Amino acid sequence: MSPRPNVSDERKAQILNAAEQVFNKKGFDLARMDDIADKTGLSKGTLYLYFKSKDDLIIAILERIFQGVFRQLERREGDELSATEAVSQFTEAAIRDYKRMLHIIPVAYEFLALAFRNKTVQKALKQYFRHYMDVLVPMIQRGIDSGEFRQVDPQEVAIAAGAIYEGTVLLWVYDSTLIDMERHIRSSIRLLLEGIQVPA
Amino acid sequence: MSPRPNVSDERKAQILNAAEQVFNKKGFDLARMDDIADKTGLSKGTLYLYFKSKDDLIIAILERIFQGVFRQLERREGDELSATEAVSQFTEAAIRDYKRMLHIIPVAYEFLALAFRNKTVQKALKQYFRHYMDVLVPMIQRGIDSGEFRQVDPQEVAIAAGAIYEGTVLLWVYDSTLIDMERHIRSSIRLLLEGIQVPA
DNA sequence: ATACTATAACTGACCGGTCAGTCATGTATT
DNA sequence: AATACATGACTGACCGGTCAGTTATAGTAT
């Protein structure tokens, strides 16, 4: 048996949590390994027992975030609902996601800037977006087939919806006093849906 | 008379152009003052004759960008058009703006991340967004008053449109092969407008 | 024309602070 | 004793910013 219990997983999570907070507060570059060490209550040397570099730490954080988002996206449901209701439920799930992720938004935008310079990041974003489209496009297509929606291009509608989700978060960053993320995502999607519904 | 002609304005522009390129390519922190100096063909010392720090340089770049956008926003026209046409023209202007700004998008996202940590940046963004709303909300209100649009909340519609503009750019960053910025901004705004128009 | 002067424009070696990453040493557990 | 875990002082590369010195040019004097 080991002379000491294996604490590797706890330590890693503990370090990632601290690092996430520090990165959010200061940004990648201004975040010091010493800051993260202080936050965990461990020493800097110990960080390097569990992560071999600062980059390694960042990558691990981003992976953890994307894993969460993918899990959420993959939970498809509501095939028995009307297309409007299905999109609305999807929207509610998206809102829950965004609210859960509010605290890592600063890192997320730094990550976006990085996308222009890093192939791996580009791939992750592309994959995330395709996932999203794979869920939403068929949902809209079903609405068209059932006569609930007009003859629109389902991909264009899905892109409009995606733009509304992501864009509302951005507007909220611009001015959080004027934008209520939850309310405005909901109202914008409602306007979009009303535009494609076949009048009763 | 001066022993040498004043080249201050040309130099500043020259340095800002070079800095913009380098910041876009490497990001703010990885960009070296020496890189910028090399790009201009001037020496590092000369940069400091015109800008007192690296921060000063990035601030000047962002100011230049915002000035351009404000100039665009303030050019109101089209009071004699239908509201739909006015919004469409505004959209075309926005598309032109975005296309013109494509090359500084990486810096823009770094700037957004900064918004969470910097009051000045927060103020600039807020101002930008208010400007935008000040133009678009009355445009939509006019459509409602004239009976062209349904009784919707004009602010909600303006926010939806703003989210579409900004969000489409973001989706394009995610996957530039799937998103045609110009086409998808246009189609999404069209869907939105169709949703608020009073049926003929 | 030529030489001289004043000064704006420019240069680049250098300084000093910073910080990611290392490692010799120590401690707790079995 | 053996092993896993932990420490924090230390190192050295790096880079923003400085400044003593150099160069170019417009005007002036001869």
Q: What percent of chain A is modeled with pLDDT above 70?
A: 93
Strand C contact at CB of residue A1, distance < 7 A: yes
Q: What gap in Å lies between CA B152 and CA B112, rounded to an integer?
A: 31
The residue that leads in pLDDT, B197 or A69, is B197
HSE at residue A117, side-chain half, CA atoms within 13 A, is 18
Domain containing residue A112: CATH number: 1.10.357.10
Asked if residue B59 belongs to a domain, the reply is: no
Question: Which residues of chain B have a CB within 8 Å of the CB of A29?
Answer: 29
Residue A12 and residue A100 share a domain: no
Q: What percent of chain B is modeled with pLDDT above 90?
A: 66
* Type of residue at B12: K
Span A121-135, pLDDT tens digits: 888 889 889 999 999
Q: What gap in Å lies between CA B86 and CA A197, rounded to an integer?
A: 24
* Across all strands, nucleotide nearest A57 (CA–C1'): C20
Residue B102 and residue B41 share a domain: no
Asked if residue A127 belongs to a domain, the reply is: yes
Residue A158 and residue A113 share a domain: yes
Strand D contact at CB of residue A118, distance < 7 A: no
Strand D contact at CB of residue A1, distance < 7 A: no
Asked if residue B117 belongs to a domain, the reply is: yes
Long-range contacts at B18-22 (CB < 8 A, ≥ 24 apart): B19/B57, B19/B58, B19/B61, B20/B61, B20/B103, B20/B104, B20/B107
Asked if residue B89 belongs to a domain, the reply is: yes
Q: Report yes or no: A106 and A31 within 8 Å, Cβ to Cβ.
A: no
- Tell whether the model's pLDDT for residue A2 goes beyond 60: no
| pLDDT number for residue B111 | 84
Residue B189 and residue B152 share a domain: yes
Residue A183 and residue A92 share a domain: yes
B42 has a chain A CB within 8 A of its CB:
no
The residue that leads in pLDDT, B39 or B119, is B39
Residue A190 and residue A109 share a domain: yes
DSSP helix/strand/coil, B179: coil
Residue A75 and residue A13 share a domain: no
- Round and report the angstrom distance from CA (B106) to C1' (D7): 40
Rounded to 5°, the CA angle B193-B194-B200 comes to 120
Number of domains, chain A: 2
Residue A137 and residue A76 share a domain: yes
| pLDDT number for residue A104 | 84
Asked if residue B61 belongs to a domain, the reply is: no
Q: What gap in Å lies between CA A65 and CA B173, rounded to an integer?
A: 18
Q: What are phi and psi of B80, to 5 degrees?
A: -95, -5
Residue B74 and residue B34 share a domain: no
Residue B172 and residue B131 share a domain: yes
Asked if residue B112 belongs to a domain, the reply is: yes
Span B124-145, pLDDT tens digits: 889 889 999 999 999 999 999 9
Average the pLDDT over B61-67 and give the result: 85
Residue A95 and residue A2 share a domain: no
Within residues 34-53 of protein chain A, the ones with CB less than 7 A from nucleic strand D are 41-46, 48-49
Domain that holds residue B7: 1-52
Residue A70 and residue A46 share a domain: no
Span B78-115, pLDDT tens digits: 667 899 999 999 999 999 989 988 888 888 888 888 88
| pLDDT number for residue B21 | 94
Q: DSSP assignment of chain A, as one string?
A: --SS---HHHHHHHHHHHHHHHHHHH-TTT--HHHHHHHHTS-HHHHHHH-SSHHHHHHHHHHHHHHHHHHHHH----TTS-HHHHHHHHHHHHHHHHHHHGGGHHHHHHHHHHHTT-HHHHHHHHHHHHHHHHHHHHHHHHHHHTTSB-S--HHHHHHHHHHHHHHHHHHHHH-TTT--HHHHHHHHHHHHHHHHBPP-
* Across all strands, nucleotide nearest B50 (CA–C1'): C9
Pick from A109, A187, A195: which is nearest to B191 by CB?
A: A195
B7 has a chain A CB within 8 A of its CB:
no
Domain containing residue B30: CATH number: 1.10.10.60
Asked if residue A58 belongs to a domain, the reply is: no
In angstroms, the separation between the Cα of residue B200 and the nearest Cα of chain A is 13
**Contact B125/A168, CB-based, under 8 Å?**
no
| pLDDT number for residue A129 | 94
Asked if residue B58 belongs to a domain, the reply is: no
The residue that leads in pLDDT, A2 or A28, is A28
| pLDDT number for residue A34 | 96
Q: What percent of chain B is modeled with pLDDT above 70?
A: 95
Pick from B106, B112, B178: which is nearest to A116 by CB?
A: B106
